[in-house]
A and B are shown apart, each in its own frame.
Chain A
Amino acid sequence: MSSIIRKDPRKNWILRNRLHPLHQQMLVAEGAGNNAVVRGPSGLIRKNPHNIGFIGPNGIKRIDRLGGSGTVVAAGQRGEAVDTRLPLVQISNPESWIVVVPDLAGGRLTSHDRDVLGQARQLAAANPACAVVALVFGDLSENLADDSNGLALAGVDRLLHFSGDDWNGYCPEQELAAMLAVHRQLLPQHWLFPDTHLSGNDRALRLATRLEERPAMHAWQIRDGRVTCRAGSERNDVTRSLPKVVALLAECAMPVDDSRHEVLPMALPELPGVLARIQDAGAVAVDPNQIAMAEAGFILSAGNGIHDWEQFHEAARVLGATEGASRVAVDDGFMPRFRQVGATGTWVTARVYVAVGISGAVQHLQGIGACEKVIAINTDAGCDMVKRADLSVIGDSQEILAALIEQVKALRQPAASEGGRHHVA
């Protein structure tokens, strides 16, 4: 057969003439759906302007010029399909290693951990046989190790997991012994830590001391084999060649978001017996109202919808929450000024923020932007706080707080007889 495109003038004529009685049939016969190729009389591909767009719900033709990036089109599909669609990266015989020790606060990957793992992946990309190992101490929350979740999507090729009761408390000496054993076994190129108070920072310094390395602490950029760190008082940057041990600040690199990794568990090295000279005697109960608002992890906040203030204070005490307030509650004199949350008060970072009788004015919502979980108790189901909240209960604050106090007390009953908590400033 020749490759010359034969034209059928009659067919073309009908296809061009939308008013021809056979036009629709001919379109279907030609398979000319919206995006099918239509050739003009000279064999050139023609664009049919009448085929662009689609008929909207009320019969009017709409043209979407967003290139498919509109909210409705994009949202649904992507979120769910991510796991299965991301390509799996496999490194079968790693020759070199980069070890990351994530914090895993509460057994979950923090965004800081993801950034550090992202940085590790960037470093590992230079060598296709370089694997990223996550060294994890303590228990993981469920399904973090599962391959389509958490660690796999964060870029972990191999997992070294020391778990069990021995590893859950504060055991820096034991962790150091484990890190040294891993170091001897793998001789990794780099050790990366999130530079966080007491976890990453402490581990990095202990390891570097024992390896007699000069670590790069407070590092925020790694580029061309050099690392830039924030020096003292945040006034200077120090740039130096990339050492073995690096503790990275948050947002040092983009987290991995376009691949999936294996998270193969590795055999744990033999650990020498460690004499623990620092004994962990457990957490100490802290008076929640002594914790600075900006630091507090759990805030019970009161607004104009509180009428029984005694009850509110009791609720905060029973729940063990730090108290907060909206501006109205402060202006009306029910709460001190330093308890005000919001644009002109404190910007809080609580993990859980309970807003009782707060309408959710923008100035207030700004202040709780960094909160993870927001719970609203309000009489008005349409208020902005309910839109922001992860859980909203609609009803009178007094009744709900009373029920909550009762239930928490019931939950704590067996322990209540053991005597008072001891408070620390």
Chain B
Amino acid sequence: MSLDKSLKVRVLVSVGQHPKSGRERRADQDSRALELALGMPGFSVGLLHAGSESPALREYLGMGVKAIDVLKQPSSADVVPALVQALRNDSPDLVLCGTRAETGEASGMTPYRVANALGWPLVPAVVSISRGSDGTYEVLQALPRGQRRLLKVRTPFVATVDPAAAEARQSAFGPAQRGQLQAVAVASVADPAANDLEFSPARKRPKRIAAARKATTAAERFKAATVKSASKGGQVLVKETAAEKASAILNLLVAEGVIAVDSPS
């Protein structure tokens, strides 16, 4: 398929942190988003970051991008208005983000708010995007249990990339140093609601003890905490013919919905 004009994809990237050491790095999901963007033929890829010019951003440059536009924002600012402003000026066809940041509150609201402000649809948990035949884009969405769903969307839209998407390529050191962090001065909007947030190191969540609440005697509590739910012992087929046994299995598989009967794709 020949493309008359180059389409623009903007990837919103953030600074991540290593889950164990807490060291700054490229965010895993954002780099997957960049990987996805780099793999789309006919698109020119641009990166956008709102915040400070952290050296960790260079890891994205090392994936083969010339420059990142850094919208200078203080750490207390709400970055969405700045991002929306920049995207309006730039008017890309597609915006890709990670599902969830690695630092801060990490609620995953940014892509939704950006899409809402731009008035574009938001497609969550994407693993691949390709051009469909009728001008729409075919977006493959990751469902739980490794399943996939096909969606059709018209550009422009915002998509968040699922952690199940292809892993990002390595970041090369040389290109990372040569690339540009282009600072862009933009107005910043304070985020007063952030003052209510109280950060503390993650506490271990209490393990749930089964049915302990109902127990009245010590023996019951002990049993609830230790005994695994005893198997009720299922149905056992011994005398039937192989065909009958197989059909019993098949019935269960169909009842559980793991075998599609009427709608094979």
Which residues of B line the A interface, CB within 8 A? 16-19, 22, 100-109, 112-113, 115-116, 121-125, 136, 138, 140-154, 157, 193, 196-203, 205, 208, 213-217, 219-220, 223, 228, 231, 233-238, 240, 242-243, 245-250, 252-253, 256-261, 264-265
Contact = CB atoms under 8 A, between A and B. Distances in A.
A214 interface: yes
Contacts of B140: 284, 424
Contacts of A406: 246
Nearest to A107: B257
Given A202-B124, A209-B109, A284-B149, A400 B202 contact: no
Interface size, A (range): 35 or more
Given A232-B102, A297-B145, A391-B248, 15 more contacts: A170-B149, A197-B125, A202-B124, A236-B200, A238-B198, A239-B198, A251-B208, A254-B213, A277-B157, A284-B149, A286-B146, A320-B260, A372-B256, A395-B242, A418-B264
A381 interface: yes
Contacts of B150: 280-284
A377 B234 CA distance: 13
Interface in A214-250: 214-218, 220, 228-241
Interface string A349-385: 0011010000000000000010011110100010000
Contacts, number: 263
Interface stretch (A43-51, A180-188, A408-416): A408-416
Nearest to B123: A278
Interface in A249-277: 251, 254, 257, 277
Contact of A198 (B17, B121, B143): B143
Contacts of A388: 231
Given A69-B217, A404-B246, A236 B202 contact: yes
Given A290-B146, A408-B250, A402 B242 contact: yes
A240 B246 CA distance: 55
Contacts of A421: 264-265
Q: Which 7 pairs show the lowest CB-CB distances between chains A and B? A: A291-B146, A232-B106, A403-B246, A390-B234, A393-B245, A298-B258, A217-B107
A67 interface: yes
